[in-house]
A and B are shown apart, each in its own frame.
Chain A
Amino acid sequence: MKIEVIDYKGKKVMEVSGEIDMHASPSLRKELMSLVSKKTTPLLVDLKGVSYIDSSGIATFVEGLKGMMAFGGKLKLASIPAGVMEIFNFSKLDKVFEIYGDLDDAVNS
C-alpha cells in the first residue's frame, strides 16, 4: 500500500493505492488520524488505486470518520473501485460516508 498526501484545488487529498489489509492498516491509521488530529477538513481520500480492502481497512476509515465528526469535520471518499465499494455496500457504510464518483466531484461538493 502507498499513501501520498497532496493539495488538489485547494483541498487536502490523501491518495491511497495498493492493498489495505491487516499489514497495511496501521500505516493508514497513523496517516489518517494524524490529519484528523490536525483538524484537516475537508479531507478527501482518493481510493482509485486500491485493489483490496479488508475489515481492518474499513474499521480504519470508520475511526477516521468518527474522529472528524467529533469536531464537525468532513471526510469524503472518492473514486472507490467496484470491488472495494462492494465491501462498503455490504457493511452498509455506503450510507454513512460521503462518497463521490471522482475527486473533482468531491472537491466541488
Chain B
Amino acid sequence: MMDSVKITIPSHPKYLSVVRALVSRMGELSEMSEASIDKVKLAVDEACSNVIKYAYKGDAGKRIAVEFRITQEGFEVTIEDSGIKANPELIEGRSLDEVKPGGLGIHLIKRAFDVLAFDERKKKGNRLRLIRYKRGDNED
C-alpha cells in the first residue's frame, strides 16, 4: 500500500503555513522523529518559497501542487508549478562561511532530503522530487 496526500495551494506566502501543517502530520504518520519532522517541514517550506520567488516571480495568483508519499523506503515530496523553468545547475547556495542575506534555503533542503531532482520530462513549469530515506533510530 502506498500512502499519499496531495494538496494544491495558491502561490501566496500565507499558504506556506498550510503546507507546513501537512508536513507535520505526514511526518508523524511516517513515524519520523520530531527533529526530523522539523527539518523536513523547513525544507519543504523553502522549496515552496523558491517556487513563489523564482518560478512565479512573486505572482500570488498561480498554483503549487505538493504531494507527500510515505513509502517503504522513506518519505517523498513532489512539488509542481507552471512557472519559469529552474536551471538545476544554477541552484547553489552561498557558502555557509559567508555572512550575507540569502542563499541558505538550498542548504536547508539538501540537509533534510537525500535526493533532490527536477523531472526533465515536465514540459512546462517544474516538478521537483525530494526523497528522504528512512534513518536509524537515533539519526535525524
Give the B-binding residues of A (Cβ under 8 A).
19, 21-23, 52, 54-56, 58-60, 62-63, 66, 83, 86-87, 90-93, 96
Contact = CB atoms under 8 A, between A and B. Distances in A.
A83 B24 CA distance: 15
Q: Pick the most buried of A63, A83, A90: most chain B CB atoms within 10 A of its CB.
A: A90
Contacts, number: 60
A22 B13 contact: yes
Interface centre among B13, B42, B101, B108 (most CB of A within 10 A): B101
B10 interface: no
A56 B16 CA distance: 13
Contacts of B102: 55, 59
Interface residues of B, number: 24
Given A60-B101, A87-B42, A91-B107, A22 B49 contact: yes
B99 A21 contact: no
15 contacts: A21-B13, A22-B13, A22-B16, A22-B49, A23-B13, A23-B14, A54-B45, A54-B46, A54-B105, A55-B49, A55-B102, A58-B104, A59-B101, A59-B102, A91-B107
Interface of B: 12-14, 16-17, 20, 38, 42, 45-46, 49, 52-53, 96-97, 99-102, 104-105, 107-108, 111
A56 B13 CA distance: 11
From A21, A66, A92, residue with most partner B Cβ within 10 Å:
A21
